[in-house]
Structure 1
Amino acid sequence: MMEKTKVFTLVFKTLFFLLIALFFSWGIWNGYFSMIFTESERFLLLLQQHLLLVVTSSLMAVAVAIPLGIFVTRPRFAKSEWFVLNTANLGQTIPVIAILAIVMTYLGIGFNTAVFALFVFSLLPILRNTVAGLNSVDPAMKDAAKGMGLTPMQTLWRIEMPNAMFTIMAGVRTAIVMNIGTAALASLVGGGGLGDLIFAGINLRDNAYLFSGAVPVTLLALTVDGLLRLSERIFIPKGLQEAAKSA
Protein backbone atom coordinates (compact mmCIF):
# COMPACT_ATOMS: atom_id res chain seq x y z
CA MET A 1 0.00 0.00 0.00
CA MET A 2 2.84 2.35 0.93
CA GLU A 3 4.62 1.64 -2.38
CA LYS A 4 1.46 2.44 -4.36
CA THR A 5 1.14 5.73 -2.51
CA LYS A 6 4.75 6.66 -3.32
CA VAL A 7 4.28 5.77 -7.00
CA PHE A 8 1.07 7.81 -7.16
CA THR A 9 2.80 10.79 -5.52
CA LEU A 10 5.73 10.55 -7.95
CA VAL A 11 3.40 10.36 -10.97
CA PHE A 12 1.34 13.31 -9.69
CA LYS A 13 4.45 15.46 -9.14
CA THR A 14 5.81 14.56 -12.58
CA LEU A 15 2.53 15.53 -14.26
CA PHE A 16 2.38 18.74 -12.23
CA PHE A 17 5.85 19.88 -13.28
CA LEU A 18 5.14 18.80 -16.87
CA LEU A 19 2.03 21.01 -16.91
CA ILE A 20 4.07 23.94 -15.55
CA ALA A 21 6.68 23.42 -18.28
CA LEU A 22 3.99 23.29 -20.97
CA PHE A 23 2.33 26.41 -19.57
CA PHE A 24 5.62 28.33 -19.63
CA SER A 25 6.36 27.14 -23.16
CA TRP A 26 2.91 28.31 -24.27
CA GLY A 27 3.32 31.66 -22.51
CA ILE A 28 6.77 32.32 -23.98
CA TRP A 29 5.57 31.31 -27.44
CA ASN A 30 2.73 33.84 -27.21
CA GLY A 31 4.92 36.56 -25.71
CA TYR A 32 3.06 36.63 -22.38
CA PHE A 33 6.30 36.89 -20.37
CA SER A 34 8.01 39.38 -22.65
CA MET A 35 7.87 42.16 -20.03
CA ILE A 36 10.16 40.15 -17.73
CA PHE A 37 12.87 40.30 -20.39
CA THR A 38 12.22 43.65 -22.05
CA GLU A 39 11.86 45.52 -18.74
CA SER A 40 14.02 43.29 -16.56
CA GLU A 41 15.25 46.11 -14.29
CA ARG A 42 11.71 47.14 -13.42
CA PHE A 43 10.65 43.53 -12.92
CA LEU A 44 13.56 42.84 -10.54
CA LEU A 45 12.79 46.02 -8.59
CA LEU A 46 9.13 45.02 -8.18
CA LEU A 47 10.16 41.48 -7.20
CA GLN A 48 12.50 42.93 -4.57
CA GLN A 49 9.69 45.13 -3.23
CA HIS A 50 7.34 42.16 -3.12
CA LEU A 51 9.83 40.05 -1.18
CA LEU A 52 10.49 42.93 1.24
CA LEU A 53 6.76 43.30 1.91
CA VAL A 54 6.37 39.58 2.60
CA VAL A 55 9.51 39.19 4.72
CA THR A 56 8.85 42.27 6.86
CA SER A 57 5.17 41.55 7.55
CA SER A 58 5.80 37.83 8.12
CA LEU A 59 8.61 38.45 10.61
CA MET A 60 6.39 40.91 12.47
CA ALA A 61 3.57 38.36 12.59
CA VAL A 62 5.88 35.60 13.87
CA ALA A 63 7.38 37.95 16.49
CA VAL A 64 3.91 38.79 17.83
CA ALA A 65 1.84 35.62 17.28
CA ILE A 66 4.18 32.98 18.76
CA PRO A 67 4.85 34.82 22.05
CA LEU A 68 1.14 35.66 22.27
CA GLY A 69 0.26 32.00 21.70
CA ILE A 70 2.68 30.98 24.46
CA PHE A 71 1.19 33.61 26.77
CA VAL A 72 -2.44 32.47 26.43
CA THR A 73 -1.56 28.79 26.90
CA ARG A 74 0.04 29.38 30.30
CA PRO A 75 -2.31 28.14 33.06
CA ARG A 76 -2.35 31.55 34.73
CA PHE A 77 -3.62 33.28 31.58
CA ALA A 78 -5.68 30.47 30.02
CA LYS A 79 -8.92 32.45 30.43
CA SER A 80 -7.64 35.05 27.94
CA GLU A 81 -7.29 32.45 25.14
CA TRP A 82 -10.89 32.81 23.96
CA PHE A 83 -10.69 36.59 23.75
CA VAL A 84 -7.30 36.66 21.99
CA LEU A 85 -8.21 34.02 19.40
CA ASN A 86 -11.56 35.60 18.59
CA THR A 87 -9.94 39.01 18.22
CA ALA A 88 -7.45 37.48 15.77
CA ASN A 89 -10.36 35.77 13.98
CA LEU A 90 -11.98 39.16 13.55
CA GLY A 91 -8.87 40.50 11.85
CA GLN A 92 -8.91 37.51 9.48
CA THR A 93 -12.56 37.98 8.49
CA ILE A 94 -12.07 41.61 7.45
CA PRO A 95 -11.11 41.75 3.74
CA VAL A 96 -7.55 42.87 3.10
CA ILE A 97 -8.78 45.74 0.95
CA ALA A 98 -10.85 46.99 3.89
CA ILE A 99 -7.83 46.74 6.20
CA LEU A 100 -5.77 48.67 3.66
CA ALA A 101 -8.43 51.38 3.52
CA ILE A 102 -8.62 51.67 7.32
CA VAL A 103 -4.84 51.73 7.83
CA MET A 104 -4.39 54.19 4.95
CA THR A 105 -6.52 56.69 6.89
CA TYR A 106 -3.87 56.83 9.61
CA LEU A 107 -0.60 55.91 7.91
CA GLY A 108 -1.25 57.30 4.43
CA ILE A 109 -0.22 55.41 1.33
CA GLY A 110 2.98 53.47 0.76
CA PHE A 111 5.07 50.64 2.14
CA ASN A 112 4.15 50.99 5.83
CA THR A 113 0.41 50.74 5.18
CA ALA A 114 0.85 47.60 3.08
CA VAL A 115 3.12 45.94 5.65
CA PHE A 116 0.74 46.63 8.54
CA ALA A 117 -2.27 45.25 6.64
CA LEU A 118 -0.34 42.10 5.69
CA PHE A 119 0.84 41.75 9.30
CA VAL A 120 -2.75 41.82 10.59
CA PHE A 121 -3.84 39.31 7.95
CA SER A 122 -0.98 36.93 8.85
CA LEU A 123 -1.48 36.80 12.60
CA LEU A 124 -4.29 34.26 12.87
CA PRO A 125 -2.72 31.17 11.19
CA ILE A 126 0.44 31.47 13.29
CA LEU A 127 -1.38 32.26 16.53
CA ARG A 128 -3.99 29.53 16.05
CA ASN A 129 -1.37 26.86 15.27
CA THR A 130 0.85 27.95 18.16
CA VAL A 131 -2.05 27.60 20.59
CA ALA A 132 -3.17 24.28 19.04
CA GLY A 133 0.37 22.89 19.08
CA LEU A 134 1.05 23.81 22.70
CA ASN A 135 -2.36 22.59 23.87
CA SER A 136 -1.82 19.24 22.12
CA VAL A 137 1.29 18.38 24.15
CA ASP A 138 0.59 15.34 26.33
CA PRO A 139 -0.03 16.51 29.93
CA ALA A 140 1.80 13.38 31.13
CA MET A 141 4.98 14.68 29.49
CA LYS A 142 4.65 17.97 31.32
CA ASP A 143 3.98 16.19 34.60
CA ALA A 144 7.06 14.05 34.05
CA ALA A 145 9.13 17.16 33.39
CA LYS A 146 7.83 18.72 36.59
CA GLY A 147 8.68 15.54 38.48
CA MET A 148 12.24 15.73 37.15
CA GLY A 149 12.57 19.18 38.67
CA LEU A 150 12.26 21.28 35.50
CA THR A 151 10.94 24.80 35.97
CA PRO A 152 7.89 25.95 33.95
CA MET A 153 10.21 27.87 31.60
CA GLN A 154 12.46 24.83 31.10
CA THR A 155 9.40 22.66 30.47
CA LEU A 156 8.21 25.14 27.85
CA TRP A 157 11.46 25.22 25.87
CA ARG A 158 12.57 21.61 26.33
CA ILE A 159 9.25 19.75 26.15
CA GLU A 160 6.35 21.86 24.88
CA MET A 161 7.96 23.90 22.08
CA PRO A 162 9.82 20.97 20.42
CA ASN A 163 6.63 18.87 20.42
CA ALA A 164 4.51 21.77 19.13
CA MET A 165 7.03 22.96 16.53
CA PHE A 166 5.63 20.93 13.63
CA THR A 167 2.17 22.47 14.12
CA ILE A 168 3.62 25.96 14.64
CA MET A 169 5.70 25.69 11.47
CA ALA A 170 2.62 24.64 9.52
CA GLY A 171 0.94 27.87 10.64
CA VAL A 172 3.97 29.95 9.72
CA ARG A 173 4.11 28.31 6.30
CA THR A 174 0.41 28.95 5.70
CA ALA A 175 0.73 32.60 6.73
CA ILE A 176 3.76 33.27 4.51
CA VAL A 177 2.25 31.60 1.43
CA MET A 178 -0.97 33.57 1.93
CA ASN A 179 1.13 36.70 2.38
CA ILE A 180 2.89 36.23 -0.95
CA GLY A 181 -0.40 36.20 -2.85
CA THR A 182 -2.07 38.92 -0.78
CA ALA A 183 0.95 41.23 -1.11
CA ALA A 184 -0.11 41.87 -4.71
CA LEU A 185 -2.83 44.15 -3.27
CA ALA A 186 -0.13 46.45 -1.89
CA SER A 187 -0.12 48.09 -5.30
CA LEU A 188 -3.51 49.63 -4.48
CA VAL A 189 -1.94 51.79 -1.76
CA GLY A 190 1.36 52.52 -3.48
CA GLY A 191 3.21 49.76 -1.67
CA GLY A 192 4.86 48.42 -4.83
CA GLY A 193 5.48 44.77 -5.55
CA LEU A 194 4.45 42.52 -8.40
CA GLY A 195 0.87 43.68 -8.00
CA ASP A 196 1.88 46.75 -10.03
CA LEU A 197 2.25 44.52 -13.09
CA ILE A 198 -0.98 42.63 -12.39
CA PHE A 199 -3.10 45.75 -12.08
CA ALA A 200 -1.33 47.39 -15.04
CA GLY A 201 -2.22 44.33 -17.11
CA ILE A 202 -5.85 44.54 -15.99
CA ASN A 203 -6.12 48.26 -16.71
CA LEU A 204 -4.33 48.05 -20.07
CA ARG A 205 -5.87 44.68 -20.98
CA ASP A 206 -2.33 43.52 -21.68
CA ASN A 207 -1.65 39.86 -20.95
CA ALA A 208 2.12 40.42 -21.07
CA TYR A 209 1.93 42.59 -17.95
CA LEU A 210 -0.71 40.43 -16.28
CA PHE A 211 1.15 37.15 -16.73
CA SER A 212 4.52 38.73 -15.91
CA GLY A 213 3.12 39.68 -12.51
CA ALA A 214 0.71 36.87 -11.66
CA VAL A 215 2.83 33.87 -12.65
CA PRO A 216 5.96 34.92 -10.67
CA VAL A 217 3.75 35.45 -7.61
CA THR A 218 2.39 31.91 -7.98
CA LEU A 219 5.83 30.40 -8.52
CA LEU A 220 7.21 32.36 -5.57
CA ALA A 221 4.47 30.99 -3.31
CA LEU A 222 5.08 27.40 -4.47
CA THR A 223 8.86 27.77 -4.06
CA VAL A 224 8.64 29.23 -0.56
CA ASP A 225 6.12 26.57 0.47
CA GLY A 226 8.47 23.86 -0.77
CA LEU A 227 11.48 25.38 1.01
CA LEU A 228 9.59 25.69 4.29
CA ARG A 229 8.39 22.08 4.04
CA LEU A 230 12.00 21.02 3.44
CA SER A 231 13.17 23.02 6.47
CA GLU A 232 10.60 21.19 8.60
CA ARG A 233 12.02 17.84 7.53
CA ILE A 234 15.57 19.00 8.25
CA PHE A 235 15.18 20.80 11.56
CA ILE A 236 12.28 18.94 13.21
CA PRO A 237 13.10 15.40 14.39
CA LYS A 238 11.34 12.76 12.32
CA GLY A 239 9.75 11.19 15.39
CA LEU A 240 8.08 14.48 16.30
CA GLN A 241 6.86 14.90 12.72
CA GLU A 242 5.26 11.45 12.73
CA ALA A 243 3.73 12.04 16.15
CA ALA A 244 2.23 15.36 15.00
CA LYS A 245 0.79 13.79 11.84
CA SER A 246 -0.81 10.94 13.74
CA ALA A 247 -2.23 13.20 16.46
Structure 2
Amino acid sequence: MRIERVTMTGADDRTDPLALLDLSRRYPFVEWGVLFSERRAGTARYPGPDWIRTLLRLAPYREGARFAAHLCGGTMRSFMGSFGGVSEPDLNAWLVPFTLTMSEYDSFFGRTQVNFDQERERFDETRLATMIRRWKVQTRGDLITQHNQANADLWPAIQSADRSDGRGRRHQVLMDASGGRGVSPETWPRPIAGVFCGYAGGLGPDGIIADLDRIADVVGDGVIWIDMEGRLRDATDRFDLSRVETVLKAVSDRVL
Protein backbone atom coordinates (compact mmCIF):
# COMPACT_ATOMS: atom_id res chain seq x y z
CA MET A 1 0.00 0.00 0.00
CA ARG A 2 1.17 3.50 -0.82
CA ILE A 3 -0.19 6.86 0.34
CA GLU A 4 -0.84 9.54 -2.28
CA ARG A 5 -1.61 12.32 0.19
CA VAL A 6 -2.27 12.99 3.86
CA THR A 7 -5.16 15.34 4.63
CA MET A 8 -4.83 17.35 7.84
CA THR A 9 -8.21 18.87 8.69
CA GLY A 10 -9.21 21.58 11.14
CA ALA A 11 -6.97 24.64 10.79
CA ASP A 12 -8.89 27.70 11.98
CA ASP A 13 -8.53 31.40 12.78
CA ARG A 14 -5.84 30.62 15.39
CA THR A 15 -3.64 28.88 12.79
CA ASP A 16 -0.98 30.85 10.93
CA PRO A 17 -1.56 30.26 7.18
CA LEU A 18 2.15 30.80 6.51
CA ALA A 19 2.94 27.90 8.85
CA LEU A 20 0.77 25.66 6.67
CA LEU A 21 2.64 26.74 3.56
CA ASP A 22 5.97 26.08 5.27
CA LEU A 23 4.92 22.52 6.12
CA SER A 24 3.68 22.06 2.56
CA ARG A 25 7.14 22.93 1.25
CA ARG A 26 8.74 20.35 3.52
CA TYR A 27 6.05 17.70 3.10
CA PRO A 28 4.57 18.19 -0.38
CA PHE A 29 2.19 15.25 0.10
CA VAL A 30 0.19 17.08 2.77
CA GLU A 31 -3.27 18.45 1.93
CA TRP A 32 -5.00 20.93 4.22
CA GLY A 33 -8.68 20.21 4.86
CA VAL A 34 -10.59 23.47 5.50
CA LEU A 35 -13.96 23.08 7.18
CA PHE A 36 -16.71 25.32 5.75
CA SER A 37 -19.69 26.04 8.01
CA GLU A 38 -21.57 29.32 7.85
CA ARG A 39 -23.01 28.95 11.36
CA ARG A 40 -19.77 27.90 13.06
CA ALA A 41 -17.37 30.11 11.09
CA GLY A 42 -14.82 31.74 13.37
CA THR A 43 -14.94 29.00 16.03
CA ALA A 44 -12.54 26.15 16.74
CA ARG A 45 -12.01 24.01 13.61
CA TYR A 46 -14.10 26.33 11.41
CA PRO A 47 -12.23 29.34 10.01
CA GLY A 48 -14.05 32.55 9.27
CA PRO A 49 -14.25 34.38 5.92
CA ASP A 50 -11.29 36.67 6.68
CA TRP A 51 -8.96 33.73 7.39
CA ILE A 52 -10.07 31.95 4.23
CA ARG A 53 -9.54 35.05 2.11
CA THR A 54 -6.08 35.51 3.66
CA LEU A 55 -5.31 31.95 2.61
CA LEU A 56 -6.39 32.70 -0.94
CA ARG A 57 -4.29 35.90 -1.04
CA LEU A 58 -1.25 33.77 -0.29
CA ALA A 59 -1.99 31.58 -3.32
CA PRO A 60 0.88 33.02 -5.43
CA TYR A 61 3.30 31.85 -2.74
CA ARG A 62 1.87 28.41 -2.07
CA GLU A 63 4.24 26.57 -4.44
CA GLY A 64 2.15 23.47 -4.92
CA ALA A 65 0.45 23.43 -1.52
CA ARG A 66 -2.80 21.49 -1.67
CA PHE A 67 -6.14 22.44 -0.12
CA ALA A 68 -9.48 20.69 0.17
CA ALA A 69 -12.77 22.20 1.34
CA HIS A 70 -14.95 20.09 3.62
CA LEU A 71 -18.57 21.32 3.54
CA CYS A 72 -20.60 20.88 6.72
CA GLY A 73 -24.08 21.61 8.07
CA GLY A 74 -25.95 24.49 6.48
CA THR A 75 -23.14 25.17 4.02
CA MET A 76 -23.39 21.59 2.77
CA ARG A 77 -27.17 21.96 2.36
CA SER A 78 -26.78 25.25 0.51
CA PHE A 79 -24.24 23.59 -1.78
CA MET A 80 -26.63 20.72 -2.43
CA GLY A 81 -29.37 23.23 -3.20
CA SER A 82 -27.17 24.79 -5.88
CA PHE A 83 -25.62 21.69 -7.39
CA GLY A 84 -28.39 19.18 -6.75
CA GLY A 85 -31.47 21.32 -7.36
CA VAL A 86 -33.82 20.83 -10.27
CA SER A 87 -33.86 24.45 -11.44
CA GLU A 88 -31.01 26.41 -13.03
CA PRO A 89 -28.68 27.02 -10.08
CA ASP A 90 -26.88 30.08 -8.77
CA LEU A 91 -23.56 28.35 -8.15
CA ASN A 92 -22.18 31.35 -6.23
CA ALA A 93 -25.01 31.49 -3.68
CA TRP A 94 -23.60 28.98 -1.19
CA LEU A 95 -20.28 30.87 -1.08
CA VAL A 96 -21.73 34.34 -0.32
CA PRO A 97 -21.23 33.97 3.49
CA PHE A 98 -17.54 33.37 2.83
CA THR A 99 -17.22 36.35 0.44
CA LEU A 100 -16.01 34.06 -2.34
CA THR A 101 -17.09 33.47 -5.90
CA MET A 102 -17.23 30.05 -7.47
CA SER A 103 -14.37 31.03 -9.77
CA GLU A 104 -12.12 31.96 -6.82
CA TYR A 105 -13.08 28.83 -4.94
CA ASP A 106 -12.54 26.53 -7.90
CA SER A 107 -9.11 27.95 -8.65
CA PHE A 108 -7.88 27.29 -5.10
CA PHE A 109 -9.49 24.17 -3.66
CA GLY A 110 -8.44 21.08 -5.57
CA ARG A 111 -10.96 18.82 -3.84
CA THR A 112 -14.34 19.31 -2.19
CA GLN A 113 -15.69 16.91 0.41
CA VAL A 114 -19.46 17.07 0.93
CA ASN A 115 -20.17 15.84 4.47
CA PHE A 116 -23.71 14.55 4.71
CA ASP A 117 -25.68 11.71 6.23
CA GLN A 118 -27.92 10.57 3.39
CA GLU A 119 -30.41 8.88 5.71
CA ARG A 120 -30.89 12.06 7.74
CA GLU A 121 -30.87 14.50 4.82
CA ARG A 122 -33.02 12.25 2.59
CA PHE A 123 -31.17 13.13 -0.60
CA ASP A 124 -32.66 10.85 -3.24
CA GLU A 125 -30.70 9.20 -6.03
CA THR A 126 -31.81 11.74 -8.64
CA ARG A 127 -30.60 14.68 -6.57
CA LEU A 128 -27.27 13.05 -5.84
CA ALA A 129 -26.69 12.14 -9.49
CA THR A 130 -27.61 15.69 -10.54
CA MET A 131 -25.15 17.13 -8.05
CA ILE A 132 -22.31 14.93 -9.31
CA ARG A 133 -23.00 15.62 -12.99
CA ARG A 134 -23.33 19.37 -12.46
CA TRP A 135 -20.12 19.42 -10.43
CA LYS A 136 -18.22 17.79 -13.28
CA VAL A 137 -19.53 20.29 -15.80
CA GLN A 138 -19.04 23.45 -13.74
CA THR A 139 -15.77 22.82 -11.87
CA ARG A 140 -12.24 21.53 -12.28
CA GLY A 141 -11.74 19.94 -8.87
CA ASP A 142 -12.50 16.48 -7.53
CA LEU A 143 -15.50 15.62 -5.37
CA ILE A 144 -15.40 13.47 -2.22
CA THR A 145 -18.26 11.81 -0.36
CA GLN A 146 -18.10 9.70 2.78
CA HIS A 147 -18.76 5.97 2.52
CA ASN A 148 -20.50 4.47 5.55
CA GLN A 149 -23.73 2.74 6.54
CA ALA A 150 -25.78 5.95 6.49
CA ASN A 151 -24.66 6.60 2.90
CA ALA A 152 -25.14 3.04 1.65
CA ASP A 153 -27.59 4.13 -1.07
CA LEU A 154 -25.24 6.78 -2.43
CA TRP A 155 -23.17 4.44 -4.58
CA PRO A 156 -25.84 3.60 -7.21
CA ALA A 157 -26.31 7.33 -7.89
CA ILE A 158 -22.56 7.81 -8.26
CA GLN A 159 -22.23 4.91 -10.66
CA SER A 160 -25.14 6.23 -12.70
CA ALA A 161 -23.59 9.69 -12.97
CA ASP A 162 -20.15 8.33 -13.86
CA ARG A 163 -21.52 6.08 -16.58
CA SER A 164 -23.72 8.65 -18.24
CA ASP A 165 -21.73 11.86 -18.55
CA GLY A 166 -18.52 10.70 -20.21
CA ARG A 167 -16.42 13.14 -18.15
CA GLY A 168 -14.38 10.61 -16.20
CA ARG A 169 -14.28 9.62 -12.58
CA ARG A 170 -13.65 12.79 -10.61
CA HIS A 171 -15.58 11.42 -7.67
CA GLN A 172 -13.59 9.96 -4.77
CA VAL A 173 -14.66 8.14 -1.63
CA LEU A 174 -13.58 8.57 2.00
CA MET A 175 -14.04 5.39 4.02
CA ASP A 176 -15.24 6.76 7.36
CA ALA A 177 -17.53 4.41 9.25
CA SER A 178 -17.99 6.89 12.11
CA GLY A 179 -19.19 9.69 9.82
CA GLY A 180 -16.63 12.23 11.01
CA ARG A 181 -16.75 11.36 14.72
CA GLY A 182 -13.13 10.22 14.80
CA VAL A 183 -13.78 6.64 15.91
CA SER A 184 -11.61 3.80 14.63
CA PRO A 185 -13.54 0.87 13.16
CA GLU A 186 -13.05 -2.67 14.38
CA THR A 187 -12.18 -3.63 10.81
CA TRP A 188 -11.30 -1.30 7.94
CA PRO A 189 -13.41 -1.68 4.78
CA ARG A 190 -11.94 -2.77 1.50
CA PRO A 191 -11.52 -0.05 -1.14
CA ILE A 192 -14.01 0.22 -3.99
CA ALA A 193 -12.58 -1.14 -7.21
CA GLY A 194 -11.65 1.55 -9.72
CA VAL A 195 -12.18 4.43 -7.26
CA PHE A 196 -9.58 6.51 -5.41
CA CYS A 197 -10.38 5.84 -1.75
CA GLY A 198 -9.29 7.51 1.47
CA TYR A 199 -9.42 6.31 5.05
CA ALA A 200 -10.41 8.20 8.20
CA GLY A 201 -11.54 7.41 11.72
CA GLY A 202 -9.45 7.79 14.86
CA LEU A 203 -6.15 8.37 13.04
CA GLY A 204 -3.54 10.54 14.69
CA PRO A 205 0.04 10.75 15.99
CA ASP A 206 -0.38 7.92 18.46
CA GLY A 207 -0.42 4.56 16.76
CA ILE A 208 -0.46 5.83 13.18
CA ILE A 209 1.90 3.12 11.92
CA ALA A 210 -0.15 0.34 13.52
CA ASP A 211 -3.30 1.81 11.96
CA LEU A 212 -1.66 1.98 8.54
CA ASP A 213 -0.60 -1.64 8.84
CA ARG A 214 -4.22 -2.61 9.54
CA ILE A 215 -5.44 -0.59 6.56
CA ALA A 216 -2.75 -2.15 4.37
CA ASP A 217 -4.15 -5.58 5.21
CA VAL A 218 -7.31 -4.73 3.23
CA VAL A 219 -5.81 -2.39 0.62
CA GLY A 220 -2.95 -4.62 -0.48
CA ASP A 221 -0.95 -2.99 -3.28
CA GLY A 222 -3.42 -0.12 -3.72
CA VAL A 223 -2.92 3.64 -3.44
CA ILE A 224 -4.97 5.60 -0.89
CA TRP A 225 -5.08 8.83 1.08
CA ILE A 226 -5.63 9.25 4.81
CA ASP A 227 -7.51 12.02 6.61
CA MET A 228 -7.45 13.03 10.27
CA GLU A 229 -8.84 15.81 12.44
CA GLY A 230 -9.73 15.29 16.10
CA ARG A 231 -6.44 13.77 17.27
CA LEU A 232 -4.49 16.69 15.84
CA ARG A 233 -5.85 19.04 18.50
CA ASP A 234 -4.40 19.97 21.89
CA ALA A 235 -6.16 20.30 25.25
CA THR A 236 -7.52 23.75 24.29
CA ASP A 237 -8.93 22.38 21.00
CA ARG A 238 -6.25 24.20 19.04
CA PHE A 239 -4.97 22.74 15.76
CA ASP A 240 -1.55 21.50 16.88
CA LEU A 241 1.06 21.78 14.15
CA SER A 242 3.56 19.75 16.17
CA ARG A 243 1.15 16.81 16.11
CA VAL A 244 0.64 17.37 12.41
CA GLU A 245 4.38 17.20 11.76
CA THR A 246 4.75 14.09 13.93
CA VAL A 247 2.33 12.29 11.61
CA LEU A 248 3.92 13.63 8.43
CA LYS A 249 7.37 12.47 9.52
CA ALA A 250 6.06 9.05 10.55
CA VAL A 251 4.30 8.30 7.27
CA SER A 252 6.75 9.91 4.84
CA ASP A 253 8.39 6.61 3.88
CA ARG A 254 5.00 5.22 2.80
CA VAL A 255 4.17 8.07 0.44
CA LEU A 256 4.36 7.73 -3.33
TM-score by length of 1: 0.25
TM-score by length of 2: 0.24
| Structure with the greater alpha carbon radius of gyration | 1
**Structure with the bigger percentage of helix:** 1
